Amino acid sequence: MEKITVVGSGYVGLVSGTCFSEIGNRVICCDVDPFKIAMLRKGEIPIYEPGLKELVKKNVDADRLFFTSEIGDAIEASDIIYIAVGTPMGDNGEADMRYVHEVARTIGKHLNSYKIIVNKSTVPVGTGEQVRQIIMENRKNRFVQFDVVSNPEFLREGSAIEDCMNMERAVIGATSDKAAKRIADLHAPFRTRIFQTNLESAEMIKYAANAFLATKISFINGIANVCERVGADVTSVAAGMGLDSRIGAKFLQAGIGYGGSCFPKDTFALSYIAEEAGFDFSLLKSVIAANDEQRLVVVDKLKQALGCLEGKKIGVLGLAFKPNTDDMRYAPSLTIIPELVRLGAYVRAYDPIAMQAARNQIAEYYEDFETLEEALEGCDACLILTEWSEIVEMDLARVKQLLTAPIIVDGRNCFSVREMKEREFVYYSVGRPAVTTGSANASAAKTVSL
């Protein structure tokens, strides 16, 4: 059993700390926000992640998981200190490192015995050395030793518990073999593949992995836009591409682009890192630009379907950037809904989980409703932005009754083109043939190619 402190009880820190306690370690999760700590002590979870509340309760009841805002005391009581604080994107794309540096200073001031300091946050190359220097400058006893390790996270929101308990790999970057082995042993119960390298390479692996996945998404969206113009179906194209073992099928789902806390921030940060190193990463810049542009293709499709958006009621389904999370960071809805309003539309919105989080950011642009049906009633068209299971499985016959015209613009390709044609919907998706021969009011649909 290891005694672990995780500094930062946000998404990464809370999930990682809880999973470390689940495999038998004593874990203290810390945060400077006393309100968040008070919530956690009462069994309330400040984020939405399936299965997390139950796992937290289980390990709190087993006296393996604890919460505190007394960060110094927690550091002194533990042997392994994980840094899991935010590294938000600055105005120029650079990762904001103030929180990581502050934690390093706190660790230095409370370094009372040998400890392994582990960077879990997504950080630029060179952060491990920065953390080491800051701790050395702030430690009261220069004879107390420590090691710094990079152990980046690879959690997907909505399936983070599964990803952690059944992780594909654990990347461990360290200058000390002793520290690397101890962190590798910590991961042994996860039965995962250990990849050991130096600090700088471990830090780069996280950025490189996310940037590559973002590139796959922007690429398939570009292919989708070409498919629409030449009569191909991007779902068939992606399936055929995915059969090539060199490519693989994952992250080839065409839609309205990526969002969330990782891909947007990490692609900008890597572009900045490259720029500072003297390399113009033009490919990555194109990926970012393509993703920004892709969000608005559904607005163009609504224009095709309705002709003009002035005075039209649009029922928007899904606000979070992906299903099974309430995360609104860089969600496509944050761009699309204000654009609809700018064009004169009236937006009625629904999301099963992210409603409150969305209100905090764009409440002035739309009216929200407690049910999907309420949001769609009397609307001129339905716009799908998040593929929640409730939306994918919605009663299309009922949707047709609720809408004033049977028009759906689907930014996530939730339904088959064949089914929508059989049901006589006017249906626009991404990278697939449009269905413009719906029943009542179908003549309003335009047939001009995007």
What's the rounded Cα separation, in Å, for the pair 59 and 26?
9
Q: Which of 262, 379, 382, 414 is catalytic?
A: 262
Name the one residue in this structure whose structure tokens are 């049977």. Answer: 406
Cβ burial 206-231 (10 Å sphere, 16+ → b, else e): bbeebbebbbbbbbbbbbbbebbeee
Return the biggest CA–CA distance within the chain.
80
- Per the annotation, the verdict on 262 as an active-site residue is yes
Closest-CA residue to 3 (of 31, 18, 24, 30): 24
157 is in an annotated binding site: yes
Q: Quick one: CA dihedral 306, 309, 315, 319, positive or negative?
A: positive
154 is in an annotated binding site: yes
191 is in an annotated binding site: no
What's the rounded Cα separation, in Å, for the pair 221 and 112?
53
CA distances from 412 to 191, 318, 353 (A): 34, 10, 18
Q: At what angle do helices 199-230 and 282-294 cross, to 10 degrees?
A: 50
20 is in an annotated binding site: no
The type of residue at 51 is G
CA angle, residues 300, 408, 264, in degrees to nearest 5? 55
| The pLDDT value given to residue 89 | 86
| The pLDDT value given to residue 437 | 75
Quote the pTM value.
Answer: 0.91
Domains of the chain: 3-197 (3.40.50.720), 208-292 (1.10.1040.10), 295-444 (3.40.50.720)
What's the rounded Cα separation, in Å, for the pair 307 and 405?
13
252 is in an annotated binding site: yes
Q: Are 436 and 402 in contact (CB under 8 A)?
A: no
251 is in an annotated binding site: yes
Q: Quick one: CA dihedral 140, 74, 147, 124, positive or negative?
A: negative
304 is in an annotated binding site: no
Residues lower than pLDDT 70 in the chain: 438-450
383 is in an annotated binding site: no
Q: Quick one: CA dihedral 309, 310, 311, 316, positive or negative?
A: positive
